[in-house]
Amino acid sequence: MSVSLAIPEKVALITGGSRGIGAATVHLFVAAGAKVVFNYRSAKSQAEALVKECGAQNCLAVACDLNSPESAVPLVEAAVQRFGRLDILVNNAAITRDGLALRMKAEDWDAVLRTNLTGAHLCAQQALSLMMRARYGRIINVTSVVAETGNAGQVNYVAAKAGVIGLTRALAVEVASRNITVNAVAPGFVVSPMTDPLSQTVKDALLARIPLGRMGSDAEIAAAIVFLASEEAGYITGAVLDVNGGLRMG
């Protein structure tokens, strides 16, 4: 995989990195010259394969579930122990527990909020303890187009992802004086295990709403994340970069 932007000698932590957008981001960061630590929850074989592809000297996989509030501490510690520092955090880990609002179980609401929003906050909190002292950092939070448009049957997911946008902007204001930028990437509909089960009828309806007429790829989302982590993006903070084929404009 070729890349024009370079982030040599930087150390990145990517949550939810074993597959999909996370795995594509791991690949692209390593290609750009960074060292990467990523976590996985259950996809051990995929995580091990990714480390092998990227090289164990460049990449470390850590098993942990961000549904647990204690998981952020050892995850950040693993990055420091292995590579000596932490420069970049990509909050990508997310789960879904879809259902209509009227019937949504409390545990499904709580699980999605804990992983998708509280997990991002706790990882940022731990990363910032290092970045503030270093007076340098890049935090990129992965949100979603549905955080901006809404989506039936996903009140928990949409609320969490909208919260990620608020988290991004609040943190950006708090830490800008320490040369730390905080931005978000909002993917549209991407070819992934989450969209594969959709019927062709549903997919056709989605494509009809996308001006570019296709779904995005994991690599296209990863490229936006790497850009926001680069020096070239050093004057961007508090922004939400929409990567959605024109599904939402403005």
Q: Which pLDDT tens digit goes with each residue over 36-76?
A: 999 999 889 999 999 999 999 999 999 999 988 889 999 99
Q: Which pLDDT tens digit goes with each residue over 105-128?
A: 999 999 999 999 999 999 999 999
Catalytic amino acids? 157
Strand order from edge to edge, sheet including 88-91: 59-63, 35-40, 11-14, 88-91, 137-142, 180-187, 240-243
Average pLDDT of the chain to the nearest whole number = 95
Q: What does the pLDDT read at residue 228?
A: 98
DSSP state at residue 213: S
Q: Convert 180-195 to b/e letters by CB count within 10 Å (16 or more is b).
A: bbbbbbbbbbbebeee
Average pLDDT over residues 188-203: 84
Counting residues of the chain whose pLDDT is more than 90, the rounded percentage is: 88
DSSP state at residue 7: -
Of the candidates 216, 115, 130, 126, the one whose C-alpha atom is nearest the C-alpha of residue 163 is: 115
Of the candidates 131, 144, 114, 223, the one whose C-alpha atom is nearest the C-alpha of residue 171 is: 131
Which residue matches tokens 């590579």? 83
pLDDT band at 192 (very low <50, low <70, confident <90, very high): confident
- Write down all domains in the chain, each with its CATH number in brackets: 11-243 (3.40.50.720)
250 pLDDT above the threshold of 80: no
What is the Cα–Cα distance from 121 to 207, expressed in whole angstroms? 33
Q: What does the pLDDT read at residue 3?
A: 52
Token code pair at residue 234: 């050093």
Q: What does the pLDDT read at residue 203?
A: 87
